[in-house]
Amino acid sequence: MLIKALRNGLGMIIVFANWLTLPKPVRRAPAEQERVNEQARALRLYQFRACPFCIKVRRHLHRLNVPVTLVEAGQGSEARAELEQQGGKRQVPCLRIETAVGVEWLYESSAIIEYLDRHFAPAETAA
């Protein structure tokens, strides 16, 4: 019980520190931002609010100015069951990507960030 309280407290400190130090989002021409917004509608990020790896992905989404739907996959939630049944794992962060051929579930923060950079990074900052 004490460990859970410490973990929750530390999680809130991490969330607060993240909020204080958010990077500036990329600025795009309105038409380009609308294209990004349209593509982002096919994405959902399954996450835990205070998970450091989830925060890493959310910071990158913020920096790239990509408005992805966030899905809290806490214990006992419908989202957690969906993540496990459809994605195959309970692991977060997980990016659910809807395409014309089906749904892809992308795990691991580094792989998700690579995907985001390939699809959303402006040409001058693409890795």
Whole-angstrom Cα distance, residue 19 to residue 85? Answer: 32
Query: In this model, does residue 102 exceed pLDDT 60?
Result: yes
**Domains, the chain, ordered by start:** 2-125 (3.40.30.10)
pTM equals 0.85
**37-59 pLDDT per residue, tens:** 999 999 999 999 989 999 999 99
The string of DSSP letters for 98-117 reads EETTEEEEEESHHHHHHHHH
* Greatest CA separation for the chain: 51
Compute the distance between CA of residue 112 and CA of residue 12 in angstroms, rounded to an integer: 24
